[in-house]
């Protein structure tokens, strides 16, 4: 028994030494700490700057409450800091001013982010409405593919994404997202 435990102990130590490498230098740890702190500080500055931009935009909207450009900018800033409810309400306000398929697609995407990537009936209905009016709308087709993937109809998801991918430019953001999803389907 003592021999078994000795062999096991030596084995565990050697694996930990090779895999875990427990001998980090103090200098390396301090450099990683400084890098992490700078990253956190930069992120906090970006969030603060974005919040200031939101306040500024809201003040401008007091004079021009139906300015679609300002409202779109406000929605994008709200999305940037994760205020999905505010993003959604801003996009809905735009749609009341001007019913636009691109804004509907942005709304579906915002709702999807708020719902942490899960497609509910409201999102599905909006996406189908967009595709009915504009069958090639990239965002709506991406979300529709996700819907079919989530309900287990991966063949339909693959078909939608492949067809959409053929129409997209190679360097499109949607192109990269769809390629990643198609790779996941194959694995």
Q: How confident is the model at residue 64, as a pLDDT?
A: 95
Token reading at 72:
């779109």
Q: What is the pTM of this model?
A: 0.76
SS3 content of the chain, % helix, strand, coil (to 5): 80, 0, 20
| SS3 state at 67 | coil
Model confidence pLDDT, tens digit, residues 101-146:
999 999 999 999 999 999 999 999 999 999 999 999 999 999 999 9
Model confidence pLDDT, tens digit, residues 54-82:
999 999 999 999 999 999 999 999 999 99
Q: How many CB atoms lie within 10 A of CB 43?
A: 10
Of 146, 164, 142, 163, nearest to 154 by C-alpha is: 146
């Amino acid at each position: 028994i003592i021999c078994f435990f000795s062999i096991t102990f030596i084995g565990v130590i050697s694996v930990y030494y090779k895999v875990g490498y427990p001998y980090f230098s103090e200098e390396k740890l301090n450099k990683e700490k400084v890098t992490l702190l700078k990253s956190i500080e930069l992120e906090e500055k970006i969030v603060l700057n974005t919040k200031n931009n939101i306040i500024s935009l809201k003040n401008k909207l007091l004079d021009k409450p139906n300015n679609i450009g300002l409202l779109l900018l406000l929605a994008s800033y709200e999305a940037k800091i994760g205020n999905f409810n505010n993003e959604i309400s801003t996009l809905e306000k735009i749609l009341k001013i001007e019913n636009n398929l691109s804004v509907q697609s942005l709304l579906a995407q915002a709702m999807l982010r708020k719902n942490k990537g899960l497609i509910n009936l409201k999102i599905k209905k909006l996406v189908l409405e967009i595709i009915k009016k504009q069958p090639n709308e990239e965002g709506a087709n991406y979300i529709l593919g996700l819907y079919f993937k989530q309900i287990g109809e991966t063949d339909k998801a693959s078909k939608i994404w492949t067809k959409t991918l053929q129409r997209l430019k190679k360097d499109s953001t949607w192109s990269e997202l769809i390629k990643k999803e198609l790779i996941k389907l194959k694995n």
